[in-house]
Amino acid sequence: MKEIKTYLLIITFFFALFCTSNEESNNEIEVYFSPTGGIKNAIIENLNNAKTTVNIAMYAFTNRELAQAVISTVKRGIEVKVLLSPSDDPYSKAEYLSSNGVNVKIYNKHTEDNGIMHNKFAIIDGKTTITGSYNWTASAEERNDENIVIIYNQNVSSKFLAKFNELWNNSDPLFHYSETNNNIVLIKNRDELLNHLNTWTNLKGKVFSVGYSYRSGIYFLNMHEQRDYFTVIIYPEIASNLIEKGVHPKSLKGKTILVSGKIFMHEKHGLEIVLNSSNDLTIYK
- Topology at the third CATH level for domain 24-173: Endonuclease; Chain A (3.30.870)
User: Nearest to residue 49, comparing CAs of 157, 105, 125?
Assistant: 125
Comparison of pLDDT for 178 and 159, the residue scoring more: 159
3-state secondary structure of 229: coil
Q: Are 232 and 190 in contact (CB under 8 A)?
A: no
pLDDT above 60: residue 18 = no
What is the reported pTM?
A: 0.65
Tell me the CA distances in angstroms from 284 to 183, 207, 255, 257, one per residue in order.
17, 11, 7, 6
Q: Average of pLDDT values for 82-87?
A: 91
For residue 20, pLDDT beyond 80: no
Name the percent of the chain lying above pLDDT 70.
Answer: 86
Q: Of 70, 42, 101, which is closest to residue 278 (Cα–Cα)?
A: 101
Tell me what the mean pLDDT of segment 108-131 comes to: 87
CATH superfamily of 177-283: Nucleic acid-binding proteins (2.40.50.140)
Per-residue pLDDT, 201: 82
Give the start-to-end residue ranges of the domains of the chain. Answer: 24-173, 177-283
167-214 pLDDT, tens digit per residue, is 998 888 875 433 444 577 888 777 888 888 887 788 888 999 999 999
Res 8 pLDDT > 50: no
